[in-house]
Amino acid sequence: MKKIDVLVTGGAGYIGSHAVVELYNSGYRPIIVDNFSNSSIKNIEGIEQIINNKVVFHEFDCTDEDQMNELFKIESNIEAVIHFAAFKAVEESVREPKKYYCNNIGSLEVLLKTMKRYKVNNIIFSSSCTVYGSPDILPVSELAPFKKAESPYGETKQLCEKLIDKSDINSISLRYFNPVGSHETCLIGDCSADKPNNLVPIICEVASGKRDSMQIFGNDYNTIDGTCVRDYIHVVDLAKAHVAALNHILNSKKIKTAYNIGVGKGVSVQEVVDSFEQINDIKISYKIGPRRAGDVEEIYSDNSKINKELKWFPIMSFGSALKTAWIWEKNK
């Protein structure tokens, strides 16, 4: 049977590469488009090793209308797009907001225009729990309002969701909570050239000696142990949510919706550090530092909507996320 073509923008990135593997394993033909602005050919090689096959890949920039036109001409059977391509460093977005507006909103605008021209009617969008800001009710459900964004990055995610809502194509926005870990082979992962900003990659750098020490940003929050609480989702579970969303969108006549992708359970920063030490049998040097500006005290997902409607459930353990994160750090 002929495979269904799915365009995966940002498919050489951290989450995109994991999604490509799961799409391929589920019988789809993923077509990667990536400009390598925040990734490496290492992830393409890793994907090919995992699937034991070549993967279709185009080095184009999603903000370039001519290049995207060319892509849709070459790949004329695309039935759906999964749009990962974006910049994601929150701190950088505060320093260089224009870079984020241009790439994150610009790429979506070009994509929507090109999809319309080539009559591709289905998009799955990489959104984020950052759209909720600091929610009033926990666990936070998809019905919670968008609060004032904490950063230009967060603003781009809110604006992109609104742009997609206004368009006349089928859409599913997936609001990721905190992705962690790597594929069990540890052949793909986060290839970003910059210093990491996220908790688990920072812990890994302390473990490897790349950093001498780290700080836990604040232990005076109103939480279980005073440190901030987040919902850490294994990247393989997250990748599988894209397959579930794709199956759903391709079987729906008209659809515009959003789903939270999280475990539904809060874990504190202190618990993450302690679990990493225990699982990987390694000591992490850290100090308690001041609060980080803009941090949300506590956020975790209500994932019942996607459980019920798409039968997606997270199954991977937090321990395996911390183990594979550490192996990826050592291998990269």
Residues 51 and 254: their CA atoms lie apart, in Å, by 33
Work out how close the CB of 49 gets to ligand NAD at its nearest, in angstroms, rounded to a whole number: 18
Residues 165 and 162: their CA atoms lie apart, in Å, by 5
Q: Residue 44 corresponds to which amino acid?
A: I
Q: Does 292 interact with ligand WQD (rule: CB under 6 A)? A: yes
Considering beta carbons, is residue 58 or 226 the nearer one to ligand NAD? 58
Residue 266, token pair as written in the block: 């809060």
Can you tell me whether residue 127 is helix, strand or coil? strand
Residues 328 and 17: their CA atoms lie apart, in Å, by 14
Residue 205, token pair as written in the block: 């750098």
Give the x-and-dash track for 166-185 against ligand NAD (CB under 6 A). ----------x--x------
Between helix 152-166 and helix 106-117 the angle, nearest 10°, is 20
Residue tagged active-site, from 24, 28, 100, 153: 153
Q: Does 190 interact with ligand NAD (rule: CB under 6 A)? A: yes
Q: Which does 214 bind (CB under 5 to 8 A by kind): ligand NAD, ligand WQD, none?
A: ligand WQD
How many C-beta atoms lie closer than 10 Å to residue 246's C-beta? 23
Considering beta carbons, is residue 109 or 282 the nearer one to ligand NAD? 109
Work out how close the CB of 140 gets to ligand NAD at its nearest, in angstroms, rounded to a whole number: 14
Question: Per CB under 6 A, which of residues 214..273 are in contact with ligand WQD?
Answer: 214-217, 228, 230, 269
Are 242 and 82 spatial neighbours (Cβ–Cβ below 8 Å)?
A: yes
Are 230 and 178 spatial neighbours (Cβ–Cβ below 8 Å)?
A: yes
Give the x-and-dash track for 130-169 against ligand NAD (CB under 6 A). ----------------------------------------
Considering beta carbons, is residue 39 or 268 the nearer one to ligand NAD? 39
Residue 193's contacts (CB-CB under 8 Å, 6 or more residues apart) are 38, 40
Among 114, 128, 170, 303, interactor with ligand NAD by CB under 6 A: 128
Q: Does 86 interact with ligand NAD (rule: CB under 6 A)? A: yes
Residue 118, token pair as written in the block: 């080539």
Q: Does 85 interact with ligand WQD (rule: CB under 6 A)? A: no
Catalytic residue status for 132: no
Residue 325, token pair as written in the block: 């994160």
If we measure between CA atoms, which residue out of 329, 263, 245, 251 comes closest to residue 301? 263
Work out how close the CB of 281 gets to ligand NAD at its nearest, in angstroms, rounded to a whole number: 26
Torsion (CA) 101, 164, 43, 183 in degrees, nearest 10: 120
Residues that bind ligand WQD (CB under 6 A): 88, 90, 128, 130, 178, 197-199, 202, 214-217, 228, 230, 269, 292, 295
- Residues with catalytic function: 153
Residues that bind ligand NAD (CB under 6 A): 9-10, 12-16, 33-39, 61-63, 84-86, 88, 103, 107, 126, 128, 176, 179, 190, 192, 198
